[in-house]
Each structure stands twice: as C-alpha cells, then as structure tokens.
C-alpha cells in the first residue's frame, strides 16, 4: 500500500494540486483566469465524452448492462447513506443534511479522470465505457437528496408551501442541461457516431493535450481548495471525519458492486472512486436554489477541501487495493 501511495503522490495530478495549495498557503494572489479555468473544464469534459463515445462504439450492450445497473444503484444508495449519517449521527438540520448529501450522491468528473489516469499508470486500465457510467451517476444523487430536502421543507412550511415543486423541475432541467451533462453526453454521442476514424482526426488536439490540460486544471483546483482550508475550523470535527470516512465507505461499496458487476480491477477502482467522490460543480447551484437555508460552507468545504484532496492523494490508491484484494 505504501509504495502505491508513494507512486501516486509523485504523479502529475497530486503534484499540480499540491502546488496549487502551496500557492494559497504562501498567500500568493495567483490564480488561473476564470475564463481559462472554464475553457479547460470544457476541453476536459468534451475530450472525456468523445473518447468514451468512441470506446462505447466497441462495447456490447451486455457488457455495459450490469455495470450500468450497479452505477444507478450507487446513485440512489450514496445520497441516502450520506443523508442518514449527517441527520442522525451528525445531528445536522434536514436542509444541511440534504444539501451535503446532494454533493456526495453526485460525482466529481475530475476525481473520475484522476482515477482513470491512476489505473492506466499502474497497468490496470479501466473499461472504455466508464465515461458512460459517469454520466449516469451525475444526476440521480443530486435529485434524490434535493427531493428529501424539498419534502422536509414542505413539511415544515406546512400548507403555506411556496410552490417549490416547480423549482425542483427547474433544478432538474438545470442539472440536465448544465455544462457537464451537455459536454459529456454530447461528447459521448458524437464520439459514438464518429467512431475510430473520426477520433483519429481530432486525436492530436483532444488526446495529446489532455494530460497537460489536466495538470493546469488541478493547479487551479489546488488554489480553490487551498483558499477553503481556513473554513476547516468552521465546519467542526464531525464534518472533517465525515469527509474522509464516508468516501471510504462509499468507495468500498462501489468497488464491491463493480466487482460483482464483472468490472476489471481498474474498472472497479474507477467505479469505487466515482461513488466516493463528491460533486462541487453541478451540486452547489442546484442546492442553493432548492434548499436556500442549507449552509453552503458545510457542503463546499467538505467536498472541496476534504474529500477531493483525500481522494486524489490517498483514496484512489486505497480503492485500487480494495479492488485488487477482491480480484
């Protein structure tokens, strides 16, 4: 385990991330221009979708059906576990519990990419259809958690409810038409249709630059996470522990389900990482709109400053070891 860990820490993604955190610790004003950050995320998501679509065109339905079922099951299970733990063990308000659960029920695309890169580097590449599974996990978790929150909210507001039902539909639309979903699902479809010949034509741009762009992106992620470190003292020890232990539990469940569904060691590792990761792009605005009384400091600090670094640095190698142990 120690060697895997060490090899991971000295790979491009954790190093770029660490540099970003260090930048913030030195109180440097440096950060990537907002538009570059957005452009990089567009590039990464679209490249991920395209490549996944091309790979999908080689896959059979039978090979995907069970892993897809496992992924959807994870999408339902993880927000419920997160909500239960926060509400009854952590004694958070139902809005805060649902808000944080929405983040942990959804998935972080960058953590997913980091896991893919990791399993590739250790010589156990994941199945080509994994990006398809990623799109399946993006949205159900958010909606289940927000659904719980909205029901609880309607109950406390009583009959005088303010028609938040329409805003749930609004949020559903917003998540499904957000940047991540458009680029990933759109990329998958385009990649599937254009197949290998089309991929060859755009490969120099979308493949060769991918890892470099990823490093730049992780640098900015480090800066963003670093600027949240100060909030760690505000969220209390429970959420700190939650941000580390819940990913391990979700990761173990994900790896196990992946193994049962017939995924390779690499595939099970990536599925475990998906389950363990917490969203910080799609979930925050959705939660803010539907559950305004939830405190965003809790959910964002937990997902960005605790769970994201944990997964990148320690979690992914750990899930890999779990997957190896099962194989």
Partner 1 sequence: MTERQTMHTHPLKLVTVIAEPVLEGRLTSELRQLGATGWTVVEGRGEGSRGIHAAEIPGVNIRVETIVAADVAERIVQHLATHYFAEYEVIAYMSDVAVVRGDKYTTRSPEKR
Binding site for partner 1 (CB under 8 A): 162, 170, 224, 284-285, 288-289, 292-293, 296-297, 300
Structure tokens at 123: 């010589």
Q: How far is the CB of 124 from partner 1 (least distance, A)?
A: 34
Q: How far is the CB of 4 from partner 1 (least distance, A)?
A: 32
| CA–CA distances in Å: residue 225 to residues 26, 171, 192, 316 | 14, 26, 35, 18
Q: How far is the CB of 106 from partner 1 (least distance, A)?
A: 15
> For the residues of 251-283, what is the DSSP string, one character each?
HHHHHHHHHHTT--HHHHHHHHHHHH---SSSH
Measured from the CB atom, the residue of 188 and 286 that comes closer to partner 1 is 286
Using alpha carbons only, what angle is made at residue 250 by residues 247 and 251, rounded to the nearest 5 degrees? 75
Q: Which residue has the tokens 């805003």?
A: 167
Distance between CA atoms of 249 and 285, rounded to whole angstroms?
26
Measured from the CB atom, the residue of 189 and 289 that comes closer to partner 1 is 289
Q: Read off the DSSP letter of residue 1.
A: -
Q: How far is the CB of 227 from partner 1 (least distance, A)?
A: 9
Measured from the CB atom, the residue of 67 and 99 that comes closer to partner 1 is 99
Measured from the CB atom, the residue of 162 and 196 that comes closer to partner 1 is 162
Q: How far is the CB of 176 from partner 1 (least distance, A)?
A: 15
Measured from the CB atom, the residue of 196 and 293 that comes closer to partner 1 is 293
Distance between CA atoms of 293 and 297, rounded to whole angstroms?
12
């Amino acid at each position: 385990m120690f060697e895997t860990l060490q090899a991971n820490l000295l790979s491009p993604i954790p190093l770029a991330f660490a540099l970003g955190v260090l930048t913030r610790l030195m109180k440097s004003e440096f950060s990537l221009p907002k538009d570059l950050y957005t452009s990089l995320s567009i590039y990464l998501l679209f490249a991920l979708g395209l490549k996944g679509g091309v790979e999908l065109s080689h896959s059979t339905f039978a090979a995907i059906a069970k892993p897809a079922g496992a992924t959807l099951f994870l999408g339902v299970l993880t927000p419920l576990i997160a909500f239960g733990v926060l509400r009854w063990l952590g004694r958070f308000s139902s809005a805060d519990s649902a808000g944080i659960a929405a983040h942990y029920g959804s998935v972080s695309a960058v953590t997913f990419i980091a896991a893919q890169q990791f399993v590739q580097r250790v010589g156990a590449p994941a199945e080509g259809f994994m990006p398809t599974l990623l799109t399946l996990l993006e949205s159900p978790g958010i909606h289940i958690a927000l659904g719980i929150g909205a029901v609880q909210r309607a109950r406390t507001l009583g009959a005088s409810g303010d028609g938040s039902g329409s805003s749930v539909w609004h949020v559903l639309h917003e998540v499904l038409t957000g940047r991540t979903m458009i680029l990933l699902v759109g990329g998958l479809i385009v990649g599937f249709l254009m197949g290998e010949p089309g991929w060859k034509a755009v490969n120099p741009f979308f493949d060769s630059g991918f890892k470099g762009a990823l490093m730049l992106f992780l640098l900015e992620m480090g800066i963003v996470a670093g600027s949240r470190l100060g909030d760690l003292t505000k969220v209390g020890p429970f959420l700190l522990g939650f941000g580390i232990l819940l990913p391990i539990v979700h990761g173990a469940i994900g790896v196990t389900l992946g193994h049962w569904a017939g995924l390779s060691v690499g595939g099970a590792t990536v599925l475990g990482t998906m389950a363990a990761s917490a969203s910080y792009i799609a979930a925050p605005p959705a939660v803010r709109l539907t559950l305004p009384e939830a405190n965003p400091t809790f959910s964002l600090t937990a997902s960005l400053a605790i769970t994201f670094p944990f997964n990148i640095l320690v979690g992914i190698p750990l899930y890999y070891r779990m997957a190896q142990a099962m194989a």
